[in-house]
Chains A and B, each alone.
Chain A
Amino acid sequence: MADALHQPLQPKNGQENEPFAIRSYTPQQLKDALRKMYLIRRFEEGAEDSYMRGLIHGTMHLSIGQEASAVGACMALTDNDKITSTHRGHGHCVAKGADVSKMFAEFFGKESGYCKGRGGSMHIADVEKGNLGANGIVGGGLPIAVGAALSAKRLKTGAVTVCFFGDGANNEGAFHEALNMAAIWKLPVVFVCENNQYGMSTSTERSTAVTSIADRALAYAMPGSTVDGNDFSAVAEAVDTAVSRARDGQGPSLIESMTYRWRGHSKSDRNRYRTKDEISVWMKRDPIGRMAKLLRDHKIMSEDDIAALETEVEAEIAEAIKKARSGPDPLVSDATKYVYADAAA
């Protein structure tokens, strides 16, 4: 039994020569996926620019360089499926189908934002599309994802929950408690660890006893695998397999998606713990460039198509920022609204 669980995830039948994404998705799905990856990149650049101009309060955590992981993981999901996200969650939110102008509006603290200006970057959520929210607490979303999966099983909604978390969370107690419970109750949840190598400044080598976080799956009797998180097709394949398994009632899986954030941990990061050389090596593994190449190589999009797509996304971002900035501010007298369902409580 345990052996069966720990077989490496195998590609589906036959066409081993072609990547999973090419075998499994229509050209339109692949174009949409690339578009979402651009959208995440430009969204975060736009957010960064707005932040630097003083238009955004607080701080933010950018996932530039991790786009394949977010978009690839959401390929197997429908709007009925749930995700829980992290403080580095803009990509997950876009990948799950959010409207970028409502996201910008949230960043600008507007009543028209996803959380009516109460949450900001760190609590961005889109419940209608199944995004139960980013989380300011490392590991905070893990038990919640298990709870969502418990609801799905009990209420027979057929929904699967993808739980995103970072390498930092794998040393929190909540990670271990959540994985254990998901396994004992065979809940439809897929744990996707986006291992970007650093928990703030502390590398996984310095913080984590195992070499591969996926190895921790063994302790909770679930399949664990490690994939190249900058390879859209690889991420999509691993998560697709795990989601199918969850939908079949076989319980949870753990996927470690190896990736890298190009930017600092937050806007206060001075990058003192890693070298420019290391960053530039990872920038050469740009997940968007690789995805674009995949589509070019398979004649799904031409160079011109891709350039046009980029231009279109840039226009969408510019328009979204403009729209978001013109949204209404919340009333100060409403500052404590939404604490309770009954506002008078």
Chain B
Amino acid sequence: MTGEAHTDSSLRQLSYAEAIREAMDIALAADERVILMGEDIGVYGGAFQVTGDLVHKYGEDRVMDTPISELGGAGVAVGAAMTGLRPVFEFQFSDFAALAMEQIVNQAAKVRFMLGGAASVPVVMRFPAGSGTGAAAQHSQSLEAWFGHVPGLKVVQPSTPEDAKGLLLAAIEDPDPVMIFEHKILYKMKGTVPDGHYTTPIGTAAVRRSGADLTIVATSLMVHKALEAAATLADEAVDAEVIDLRTVRPMDRDTVLASVRKTGRLLCVYEGVKTLGVGAEVSAMVAESDAFDFLDAPIVRLGGAESPIPYNPELEKAVVPQVPDILNAARQLAGGTV
């Protein structure tokens, strides 16, 4: 993949999965301490073909297949990170984080603190997340809010190939444990990706579309649905601003509040279960701030239904926000009927 020639790198298109692989390739080449760990990431190439053929370039010692041992594997990555390596650990599905919560929450997140700063855990964990693939209840969840609740972790959700690469490189260079939630539907999405090494700062949101009438704060795949809705709304003279949160922890307070002060209306769109989810935190952050005074309508949240993800495709769509849901909510907000 690095052999491809690009006459104009500014127009180079990669898929989200290719962008992640390129980031890992760059990190592996640049830093001997970087290793990849995970189930079937070697010759198989990863369940979603994200690691691809990296094992052939860097060998099995640096692109390590682990047994199906999420707890142990995550713990090995934590111990290796504490003692000099920079492991990037791939979970096959984000749902399997449940098997490894002990090592992530009790160990990785707390070691630096418990030891008074005497050690750090520069580990990266990658979680293929989200619904839309028909994988049903145990392979489709969006669990980023679980980790957002844990001080000591950083949690990011790239929505574009460019950010998938930039955030992963930033995560590998970060001294603290970073959890990356990659939406499975986005793996095949193409987008412009700069050449070579660059980082996207953790903790900064991106304004994907500027607007005056209402602020839509969205994460991951929902950013794209929000942008699609915003294009339709523009035809109806509703000018929506779309913010891609990008990082769940630490959250970019300034960007969100500035937008709400401008528009006076807030719509949060996220795929995780609505109750106690990322949008709940965004809403509370606005309600607790001076931006509250600028609200000219109640805050509206669109999140996942209070349900596991169903198998039937129609049901599956019904339990996470879709473009018509966003349009409906935005129209009501902008029209003053909420």
Residues of A within 8 A of B (CB): 82, 84, 113-119, 123, 125, 127-128, 132-133, 135-137, 140, 142-152, 154-155, 157, 173-174, 176-178, 180-181, 184-185, 336-342, 345
A140 contacts which of B107, B117, B174 (Cβ < 8 Å)? B107
Given contacts A118-B113, A339-B112, contact A143 B79 (CB under 8 A): yes
Smallest Cβ-Cβ distance to A175: which chain B residue: B72
Task: Produce 1/0 per residue, B283-309, CB < 8 A to A.
Answer: 000000000000000000000000000
Residues on A with beta carbons closer than 8 Å to the beta carbon of B2:
none
Whether A144 lies near B85 (C-beta < 8 A) is: no
Smallest Cβ-Cβ distance to B100: which chain A residue: A143
B75 contacts which of A116, A123, A147 (Cβ < 8 Å)? A147
Residues on A with beta carbons closer than 8 Å to the beta carbon of B151:
336, 339
Total contacting residues, chain B, CB less than 8 A: 45
7 contacts between A and B (CB under 8 A): A115-B115, A119-B114, A132-B82, A143-B78, A143-B79, A181-B69, A338-B112
Whether B119 lies near A132 (C-beta < 8 A) is: yes
Residues on B with beta carbons closer than 8 Å to the beta carbon of A184:
67
Whether A174 lies near B82 (C-beta < 8 A) is: no
Q: In the complex, what distance in Å separates the CA atom of A340 from the CA atom of B110?
A: 9
Other A-B contacts than A143-B74, A339-B152, 16 sampled, CB-CB below 8 A, are A118-B115, A127-B118, A140-B75, A140-B103, A144-B76, A147-B76, A147-B79, A147-B83, A149-B79, A151-B83, A151-B84, A174-B71, A178-B72, A181-B66, A345-B203, A345-B250
Least CB distance, A109 to chain B, in whole angstroms:
11
Residues on A with beta carbons closer than 8 Å to the beta carbon of B106:
136-137, 140
Residues on A with beta carbons closer than 8 Å to the beta carbon of B84:
151, 155, 157
Among A125, A151, A173, A180, residue most surrounded by chain B Cβ atoms (within 10 Å):
A151
Residues on B with beta carbons closer than 8 Å to the beta carbon of A82:
83
Across the A-B interface, the 3 shortest Cβ-Cβ residue pairs: A147-B79, A143-B75, A177-B72
Q: In the complex, what distance in Å separates the CA atom of A140 from the CA atom of B107?
A: 7
**B265, CB-defined interface residue at 8 Å:** no
Residues on A with beta carbons closer than 8 Å to the beta carbon of B83:
82, 132, 147-148, 151-152
Residues on B with beta carbons closer than 8 Å to the beta carbon of A123:
114-115
Whether B111 lies near A133 (C-beta < 8 A) is: yes
Given contacts A151-B84, A154-B61, A341-B112, contact A142 B75 (CB under 8 A): yes
**B196, CB-defined interface residue at 8 Å:** no
Residues of B within 8 A of A (CB): 33, 35, 61, 64, 66-67, 69, 71-85, 87, 102-103, 106-107, 111-120, 151-152, 154, 174-176, 203, 250
Q: In the complex, what distance in Å separates the CA atom of A218 from the CA atom of B195?
A: 51
Smallest Cβ-Cβ distance to B122: which chain A residue: A341
Residues on B with beta carbons closer than 8 Å to the beta carbon of A157:
84
Whether A146 lies near B116 (C-beta < 8 A) is: no
Residues on A with beta carbons closer than 8 Å to the beta carbon of B69:
177, 180-181
Among A82, A147, A148, residue most surrounded by chain B Cβ atoms (within 10 Å):
A147
Whether A133 lies near B79 (C-beta < 8 A) is: no
Whether A114 lies near B152 (C-beta < 8 A) is: no
Given contacts A127-B119, A338-B113, contact A144 B176 (CB under 8 A): no
Whether A140 lies near B118 (C-beta < 8 A) is: no
Q: In the complex, what distance in Å separates the CA atom of A180 from the CA atom of B107?
A: 20
Residues on A with beta carbons closer than 8 Å to the beta carbon of B154:
340, 345
Smallest Cβ-Cβ distance to B77: which chain A residue: A147
Residues on B with beta carbons closer than 8 Å to the beta carbon of A152:
83
Smallest Cβ-Cβ distance to B68: which chain A residue: A177
Q: In the complex, what distance in Å separates the CA atom of A113 from the CA atom of B117?
A: 12
Q: In the complex, what distance in Å separates the CA atom of A15 from the CA atom of B75?
A: 42
Whether B118 lies near A341 (C-beta < 8 A) is: no
Q: In the complex, what distance in Å separates the CA atom of A115 from the CA atom of B103?
A: 20
Q: In the complex, what distance in Å separates the CA atom of A177 from the CA atom of B99?
A: 12
Given contacts A133-B115, A181-B66, A345-B176, contact A146 B102 (CB under 8 A): no
A147 contacts which of B67, B71, B80, B102 (Cβ < 8 Å)? B80
Smallest Cβ-Cβ distance to B62: which chain A residue: A154
Q: In the complex, what distance in Å separates the CA atom of A179 from the CA atom of B71?
A: 12
Whether A178 lies near B76 (C-beta < 8 A) is: yes
Q: In the complex, what distance in Å separates the CA atom of A277 from the CA atom of B173?
A: 58
